[in-house]
Structure 1
Amino acid sequence: MLAVALNSLGTIDEEYFASLFVRQFTGFKVIKLSLYKDAEKDQLQVCQPEKDADLLKDLIQNSDPADPILRLKGPRAKLQKAVRSMFFPGQKKKHEKVLLIGSEGFNDFPWAVQIVAVQLNVLDLIQDTEELQKSGFMILHDPEKNESENFIVGVKTLHPENTMYVELYQGDRSKDIKKCYEVVFAEYLVKRKKIKERLEEQHPGQVISCAQAGRIAGELRVSTYLVGSVCDEYGYQITNCGLGCF
């Protein structure tokens, strides 16, 4: 499973971004999420599949099969569960590749590949170091030459591990950026494969405690959220939850 979450900083047209993205990468289903607040405090839930046959049906805004975008609307917690449920074992319409737009990918889907689309002429983002650290790589939209150069230098100074590319908002993706995507996607799939192999090796009964899942995350140097997502995908049951992320 390959899940990509878009994080928009500035006035980015996310559906336009999605149209360019799927032109370059075949097989992706675009999921547009429209969030409204829960009556109670939102809480991220990553694992433990819920057998709720009506969950997706209640959230779908537009079920037109000709629409390339699946539009879901609802409270954050339900949308998170609905997206997760698309990857549970036995799903008839399981999507192997998805692009998630319309939400805060960092917070709502931390187990996905994170892309940050930035519009420099709207926000001064050089101070927003936490989000820059989380990103797989970034894309600058409509940059002025001097402005973008200064921004890139500043980000690389703060976070030399970040991959930085400049993408013009009105243009198609360049070959270099496409190669960057492919590298990031491949690394993500390798991590999922390693987690799956470790689960099969150590927990063939498809039951694992929260502490054991946390140890696997530490041993493989991946996030606990990603371990939880792989558990979802292969039907593992998480027991004795104590970290709040499974």
Structure 2
Amino acid sequence: MKRILLIEDNRDIANMLFDYFECLGLTLDYADNGELGLKLASENTFDIILLDLMLPRMDGLTVCNRLREQGNNTPILMLTALDNREDMLKGFNHGADDYLTKPFDLDILEARMNALIRRYRGTVAVTDLKFADIIINQKERIATRQGKNLLLNPTTYKILEMLCKKAPEIVTREEISYQLWQENEPNNDVLRSHIYQLRTQIDKPFNSSILVTVPKIGFRLERQYNE
């Protein structure tokens, strides 16, 4: 049974989602402010977090950012009435995996939730993926470089996994977009934001860069030293 955490201060929306998820047989935990939501998310295990952007006590971006800083990689789907490009990109840059504007269709919400959960759970593998000094434990969904844990959300983890499987070959933008969103591909800014998040984890803290952008085509991993 899927367990969902809803962090939303609008009681009408919360009640609507309670009724909808109850009919689906899902378990829903609830917080009406950011501080309580962060506490519940930190102390419990959920399949997905539905997170409002505008919250009392602590806003959704701060909640999202703190969870990622803790190493919590539970999928986060942001729910917000703010639909401009800047707010959407802020959400992705703070570690959100997807974004849905209010009012939203419940069937679309369920479909996006299920896609994120499937991506997060992935396929359990018995072997690690390795390229250069990157190691991915697919069973535990943990990635390291030079022995240091990389703080990846489900989306950036999936991108790194794809890159590592094909390294040093190129993974095209189209391949990444299809694997992440199938036919519901967002604009290029969203993918660019996720690549930026990934680069801050696997390149910026280290002396050499490994993630290479191939202009107008895609991305690949490249060894920068002799083994």
The two structures have a TM-score, normalised by structure 1, of: 0.37
* Structure with higher RCO (Cα < 8 A, 6+ apart): 1
The two structures have a TM-score, normalised by structure 2, of: 0.40
